[in-house]
């Protein structure tokens, strides 16, 4: 296994409180040594690859707690190989795959397949999320314990809300046994039925059925109440509304065990992105209003929202090149996530250290996985970022099979240039420095 010394980069590791120029030595796939100060680690072994990271930033590999790799069953949209390759380009070294595959990941056989396939073909570590209910049908709890043993780190019926409150209560109760979070896809399916975008003036003008913000808010409040009742660990996925942020903030003040994530598209753009029937702006929950965007940003600022995830949801071109009503929900998110998120730092919403925390050690802590830090002895998961690099989003150049993004043509600044997973270089756009 290649040994790598990254020299003189600006290291930011929030968990260890490191925010200074220094060096990191990766040996045997692990963080062998980390030291602050220019040229603080020197090696004489010519077999060690030396990276000159001067004027670059060095972070723990990003952890994405919410993604869709589509395999098994939807390999025409994405595979574990192509999805993790795109993740590596985005600086991710750990991703969590949601269970809405075919068959659904609701048993240990499917979980084991995903884990094995990722080990054979993946460009980063894959941690499966198991379904809460069998077939994601909301009727009967899946075998959570057996999936946990097989490798699942959380449970969710993502894409489908658990409508039955008793089922959700039982899931939260059982999850305490496994020390795993139950991840809520917060959507009142009756309120959102038939909706394809945010409900409001624009949906009326476009003649499209809307999804009211209350569809998310009501379900968040229900699940918070159930978490309070059971003492289970609730994690709310892809928060998009001002009301949802307020509900989570109040729950945290009350000491309820709730965490939350949002995604770059919910703090970067509004429902206006779907104007003109742009199917690449069709996501679930839908893009909301400027007021919601500002509330999500405030939620990130005051730590109501703990983590930033991508909700990477690639689709085949035919799934988007159709009438808006019929188009699939979701965007391809790995390859723009960091560059969109760093805008929070430019806009003064977060410091750089707090942003990196929300993309590394916070999601790792929620899922109880040993990732998200450059701790000596830990996995050699690193991303090197050129903060001054500017580029135009060209979806056809995505490594993901999914080219669906509302950010095509955007000019972004700040780009991962080198990703290392367990000591293996998984993405290298380092222009010969390595």
The residues carrying an active-site annotation are 311
The CB density around residue 180, as the number of other CB atoms within 10 Å, is 24
Structure tokens at 153: 């780190």
β-pair partners for 322: none
The answer to whether 49 and 388 are in contact (CB under 8 A) is: no
Please tell me the distance from the alpha carbon of residue 330 to that of residue 326, in angstroms, as a whole number.
13
Pick from 153, 139, 50, 58: which is nearest to 97 by CA?
Answer: 153
Pick from 406, 236, 398, 262: which is nearest to 327 by CA?
Answer: 406
The CB density around residue 122, as the number of other CB atoms within 10 Å, is 23
Pick from 26, 22, 27: which is nearest to 12 by CA?
Answer: 22
Please tell me the distance from the alpha carbon of residue 97 to that of residue 409, in angstroms, as a whole number.
28
Structure tokens at 97: 């795959």
3-class state of residue 56 by DSSP: coil
């Amino acid at each position: 296994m290649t040994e790598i010394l990254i020299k003189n980069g600006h290291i930011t590791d929030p968990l260890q409180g490191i925010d200074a120029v220094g060096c990191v030595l990766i040996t045997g796939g692990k963080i062998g040594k980390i030291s602050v100060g220019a040229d603080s680690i020197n090696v004489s072994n010519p077999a060690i690859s030396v990276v000159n990271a001067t004027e670059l930033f060095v972070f723990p590999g990003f952890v994405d707690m919410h993604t869709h790799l589509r395999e098994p069953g939807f390999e025409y949209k994405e595979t574990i190989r192509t999805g993790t390759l795109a993740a590596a380009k985005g600086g991710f070294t750990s991703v969590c795959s949601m269970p809405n595959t075919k068959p659904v990941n609701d048993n240990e056989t499917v979980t084991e397949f995903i884990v094995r396939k990722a080990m054979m073909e993946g460009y980063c570590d894959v941690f499966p999320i198991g379904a809460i209910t069998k077939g994601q049908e909301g009727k009967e709890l899946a075998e959570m314990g057996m999936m946990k043993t097989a490798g699942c780190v959380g449970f969710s019926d993502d894409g489908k809300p658990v409508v039955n409150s008793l089922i959700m209560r039982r899931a939260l109760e059982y999850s305490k046994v496994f020390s795993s979070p139950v991840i809520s896809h917060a959507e009142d399916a009756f309120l959102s039925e038939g909706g394809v975008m945010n409900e409001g003036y624009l949906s009326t003008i476009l003649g499209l059925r809307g999804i009211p913000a209350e569809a998310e808010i009501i379900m968040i409040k229900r699940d918070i109440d159930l978490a309070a009742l059971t003492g289970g660990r609730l994690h709310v996925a892809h928060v998009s509304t001002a009301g949802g942020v307020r509900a989570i903030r109040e729950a945290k003040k009350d000491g309820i065990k709730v965490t939350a994530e949002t995604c770059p598209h919910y703090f970067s753009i509004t429902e206006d992105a779907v104007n003109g029937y742009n199917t690449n702006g069709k996501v679930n929950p839908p893009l909301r209003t400027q007021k919601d965007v500002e509330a999500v940003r405030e939620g990130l600022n005051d730590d109501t929202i703990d983590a930033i995830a991508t909700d990477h949801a690639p689709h085949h071109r035919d799934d988007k090149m159709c009438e808006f009503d019929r188009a699939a929900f979701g965007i391809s998110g790995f390859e723009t996530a960091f560059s969109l998120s760093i805008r929070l730092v430019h806009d003064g919403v977060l410091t750089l250290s707090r942003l990196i925390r929300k993309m590394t050690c916070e999601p790792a802590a929620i899922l109880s996985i040993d990732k998200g830090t450059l701790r000596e002895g830990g996995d050699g998961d690193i991303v090197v970022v050129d903060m001054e690099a500017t580029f135009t989003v060209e979806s056809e150049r995505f490594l993901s099979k999914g080219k669906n993004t509302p950010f095509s043509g955007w000019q972004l600044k700040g780009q991962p240039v080198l990703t290392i997973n367990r000591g293996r270089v998984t993405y290298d756009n380092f222009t010969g420095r390595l």
